[in-house]
Structure 1
């Protein structure tokens, strides 16, 4: 059964109540369109059977959409005013809904109650990739999710080797699982209206990790080096972390990779092969 969600008037009333001026620093752009909220929840395949974690619930637009399915929601919110108000908003609009609010910085949180298996979030543009990678690294019980991010960032996350936007975030995301873009979102469904478009990005994580934690760190170090100088051949871009150009060439050849290739041509498995060739 459809329940009450927040619209433009309710969002502005809540902001006024909290004396809240949305800040670019915290990336606060609140969704004011109920249809967009329901589209996100449906695309994320939230059914109400298992707990969902939401990062940065803000005034609760998406939170109410998730709770509407009957799913228990764990909301991680850094702003104390928003964290305090959210349960009140939910109690008023969807009495009895199963919400747990954790006031914490999503970049540093190390524990989540209820072990949610799905992650759904409208992520702040300025920290979307680091926050996402932090959650995937530290909460292995998350198996799938959907995030709304700046269009450019989302395309990068889902990019494949050889694409112009393929880069460090693409490889690191691929370490954890499979990524796909799931449709653009108009900037006009937000308040305040951002100066960039957004995109939905869905993911499903691997059943088994690609490698050990030590191998992940070694692989990510290679990825950062390769894309830090992405126009250079790998024997040059990796020379700093592999002990010189000759040593880098030797390691690459041992992994079956031509030293004259560039980082944008390698899959995550290729980078792992280089890490393992030590």
Structure 2
């Protein structure tokens, strides 16, 4: 680990934010968490310690945190990485975070860079160093699009651990044949191997959400194909748009006709009578490759 540890200590009660600290900071900034931005602030030090432990960061990692909010997770992450880039869309929160870190972990403040931006649109040129690990409590309403955008935009991103709504976690980590296997499962599998990494209690958030949360861990793998990602993703979208239909019917609009869909499927070695939820990402890739020049 580079640099000296925080004078308060990375796991000490004085360095991390507790419930009273979170409410005090929010009151100081005049912030009332909004559903529109999916704001549920973590106020439990044990939870952020657990997240950092599960993330299993290396001392030279450059961590990307999306939606740092008041800094609960940020303060826990800083001792375990070389640099941390926090992407925050709220200008008030973005301005406050460096001051909070400076007050509570002054020896680690130089490791933090705050980028005021929308994580769904942020581009690689906004980062001072190439992020290697994504660790974040993601707004539930945009969790999957954010992860997919960042994996596409940042090839340097090798690992991730995100806290999302439990149902979303199930979909992200699902395999073929599962009732919740669908578009998020396949698109994430294009980039990485994903797994569920544990539940998170509702009680660790303020305000308390009306849904359960869970952690999803992923590790990027080598590219599975040189096929055009746009072709592949449009194919996946079509395959799951009408889940009750067989692929022959579901892909008829995408391919131009049911007959053409069947021809492509047969050429790819996929049963036209199968349904989208039965296919692994490799089989979708075979279909897309047949369609690509």
Q: TM-score range, shorter-chain basis? A: over 0.9
Aligned pairs for 1:173-192 within 5 A: 173-192=188-207
Tell whether the 8 Å contact from 1:53 to 1:120 is kept in structure 2 after alignment.
yes
Aligned pairs for 1:68-217 within 5 A: 68-97=79-108, 98-111=111-124, 112-206=127-221, 208-212=222-226, 215-217=228-230
Alpha-carbon deviation of 1:190?
Answer: 0.1
1:182 partner SS: strand
Tell whether the 8 Å contact from 1:54 to 1:119 is kept in structure 2 after alignment.
yes
Tell whether the 8 Å contact from 1:48 to 1:72 is kept in structure 2 after alignment.
no
Tell whether the 8 Å contact from 1:59 to 1:82 is kept in structure 2 after alignment.
yes
- CA deviation vs aligned residue, 1:129-166 (integer Å, no higher than 9, x gap): 00110001110000001000000000100000000000
The structure 2 residue matched to 1:227, chosen from 233, 240, 244, is 240
Flag structure 1 segments of 5+ consecutive residues without an equivalent: none
2:240 partner SS: helix
Tell whether the 8 Å contact from 1:11 to 1:59 is kept in structure 2 after alignment.
yes
Runs of 4+ in 1 over 3 A off after TM superposition: none
Work out the CA distance in 1 between the residues paired with 2:98 and 2:35: 24
Work out the CA distance in 2 between the residues paired with 1:84 and 1:130: 25
Tell whether the 8 Å contact from 1:46 to 1:71 is kept in structure 2 after alignment.
no
1:58 pairs with 2:69? yes
Work out the CA distance in 2 between the residues paired with 1:233 and 1:14: 53
1:146 partner SS: strand
1:114 partner SS: coil
Work out the CA distance in 2 between the residues paired with 1:101 and 1:151: 28
Alpha-carbon deviation of 1:71?
Answer: 3.4
RMSD across aligned C-alpha pairs, in angstroms? 0.9
Work out the CA distance in 2 between the residues paired with 1:250 and 1:137: 31
Alpha-carbon deviation of 1:48?
Answer: 2.7
Work out the CA distance in 2 between the residues paired with 1:161 and 1:190: 33
Alpha-carbon deviation of 1:49?
Answer: 2.0
Tell whether the 8 Å contact from 1:215 to 1:272 is kept in structure 2 after alignment.
no
Tell whether the 8 Å contact from 2:17 to 2:43 is kept in structure 1 after alignment.
yes
- CA deviation vs aligned residue, 1:228-250 (integer Å, no higher than 9, x gap): 11110001100111010000000
